[in-house]
Amino acid sequence: MTTPHPASRPAPATPAAPRRALEPARDRGAPWTWEVAGYHEARRALSDHRLSKDPSLVWEVAAGAEGAGQRWIRNIANTDPPEHTRLRRLLTAAFTRRRVEQMRPGIEQAARRLADWLPPAAEVDLIASFAFPLQVEVTCDLLGVPSQHREAFASLAAGMLAPGDGEHRPASCHAAYQQLGTLMAEVLAALRTGAARCSEVGIPEGPDGQPHLLGALLAARHGSDRLTEQEAHAMAMLLITAGQEPTIDLIANGVLALLLHPDQLQLVRRYPHLRASAVEELLRYSVPVLAAPRIVAEDIEIDGTTVPRGSVLAVMLEAAHRDPAHFAAPDTLDITRDHNAHLAFGHGIHYCAGAPLARMQAAIAIGALVNRFPRISLARTPEQLRWRPSWSARGLVELPVFLGPC
């Protein structure tokens, strides 16, 4: 009998066996050699300057190769200070909390409209029919993708969704990514070269009358510093790719967890003020990103063991969230949980810049579904659900439900 891939299994229904704070990777097929599992150790590791996100370090240690970093499209997700500090500062100037909050009415309208379009009498895949199109619409609105490009954007974004991690994805996924990159480069080039206003190149203005995020990225300044067009393009592509699957997975995994815990679903439905804390607990309980890899830039001691420079280490977020030394009853879903300092969005300088938007979108999406469909139920048993094979993420291939009469 074949053992299921670790990410093909949902959150455990019974308490998991305790893990040491640091362990060798248990499956040698994993793309890392060490795993940090304890909550406090994981939190420290995520902000430890000796653990790098620059993949070129692996090549330098393994082969002494110079210029290995040229293999990667450099952005805030795979750079360290001072380069990361500079890029993060310019992104923060454009991607503000005020800009995110101004998106709320549009996201609420989109979620209600998509929920209204769902056929209550039929079996529905909530990912294909709700979570994915909502994510596409939110991303296009955030970036200001011109209306004439949105159909192509949606098609290419769908093409990037496929089982697998990184280079193990089908060639069609990489092709879709490249084509989407070309589309975004064209939009950015038009903005840079031309128009005094976004509307002149078909890009709508934001809710506050200012350019959407693409225009704001190009306009961002810190003194005389600004993003190059290549850096702005890399930033836009990162916001697309880093936001797409984790947010879709957050919504789908969250709905599934609530359907499997009717008492918690009833609380979400009955008490709207609990939806924000529900999202936090869903992020902890069924975290979309299972592992956060780091490269050891200099020898480091964790839990009494020296991990040598050049090692690839994974901060196991799922295990950290089930650490009984930090969370009371960690295997229990409790949307009223206090002191829920989960690590789903990371910690330290690489804390996810899109966290406020993901939280808002998930709370709105789940609220729209539970309001519109009081009798929503799973159309499969939990054992019949299909999960994407991935070392670093937990995501359903589809979420079939019966919506029931409204």
Which tens digit of pLDDT belongs to each residue from 15-35?
A: 455 567 888 877 656 778 899
**Backbone φ, ψ for residue 34 (5° rounding):** -130, 150
Residue 306, judged by CB atoms within 10 A of its CB (0-12, 13-18, 19+), counts as exposed
Q: Is the pLDDT of residue 204 over 70?
A: no
What is the band of 156 on the pLDDT scale with cuts at 50, 70, 90?
very high
Q: What is the pLDDT of residues 239-261, one digit of tens each?
A: 999 889 999 999 999 999 999 99
* Higher pLDDT among residues 127 and 210, named by residue: 127
- The owner of tokens 């909530």 is 126
Contact status, residue 241 vs residue 382, Cβ threshold 8 Å: no
Name the token pair of 406. Answer: 């409204």
∠ CA 76-160-207, nearest 5°, is: 60
Q: What is the pLDDT of residues 50-92, one digit of tens each?
A: 999 988 776 555 444 444 444 557 889 999 999 999 999 999 9
Distance between alpha carbon 295 and the CA centroid of its chain, in Å? 20
pLDDT confidence of residue 168: 63
Residue 255, judged by CB atoms within 10 A of its CB (0-12, 13-18, 19+), counts as buried
* Mean pLDDT score, 117-143: 94
- The owner of tokens 């500062």 is 89
Strands 300-302 and 123-125: unpaired
pLDDT confidence of residue 122: 84
Question: What percent of the chain has a predicted confidence (pLDDT) above 90?
Answer: 63
Any residues with CB less than 8 A from the CB of 375 and at least 6 apart, and which?
402, 403, 404, 405
pLDDT confidence of residue 125: 97
Name the token pair of 375. Answer: 């009798």
As a whole number, the mean pLDDT across the chain is 85
Strands 300-302 and 305-307: antiparallel
* Higher pLDDT among residues 15 and 93, named by residue: 93
Q: What is the pLDDT of residues 186-196, one digit of tens each?
A: 888 887 775 43
Picking from 213, 239, 245, 328, the residue whose alpha carbon sits closest to that of residue 281 is 328
Contact status, residue 233 vs residue 376, Cβ threshold 8 Å: no
Q: Is the pLDDT of residue 400 over 70?
A: yes
Question: What percent of the chain has a predicted confidence (pLDDT) above 70?
Answer: 84
Q: What is the pLDDT of residues 297-347, one digit of tens each?
A: 999 998 888 998 888 999 999 999 999 999 999 999 999 999 899 999 999
pLDDT confidence of residue 152: 94
pLDDT confidence of residue 198: 46
Distance between alpha carbon 20 and the CA centroid of its chain, in Å? 27
* Mean pLDDT score, 375-395: 92
Q: Is the pLDDT of residue 202 over 60?
A: no
* Mean pLDDT score, 265-289: 96
* Higher pLDDT among residues 7 and 58, named by residue: 58
Q: Is the pLDDT of residue 270 over 70?
A: yes
Domain segments of the chain: what residues?
6-12+75-293+331-402
* Higher pLDDT among residues 64 and 233, named by residue: 233
Picking from 381, 358, 385, 402, the residue whose alpha carbon sits closest to that of residue 103 is 358
Q: What is the pLDDT of residues 36-49, one digit of tens each?
A: 999 999 999 999 99
Q: What is the CATH number that goes with domain 6-12+75-293+331-402?
A: 1.10.630.10
Render the burial of 84-121: b for 16+ CB within 10 Å, e for the rest: bebbbebbebbbeeebbeebeeebeebbeebbeebeee
* Mean pLDDT score, 145-170: 80
Q: Is the dihedral of CA 251, 253, 257, 262 positive or negative?
A: positive
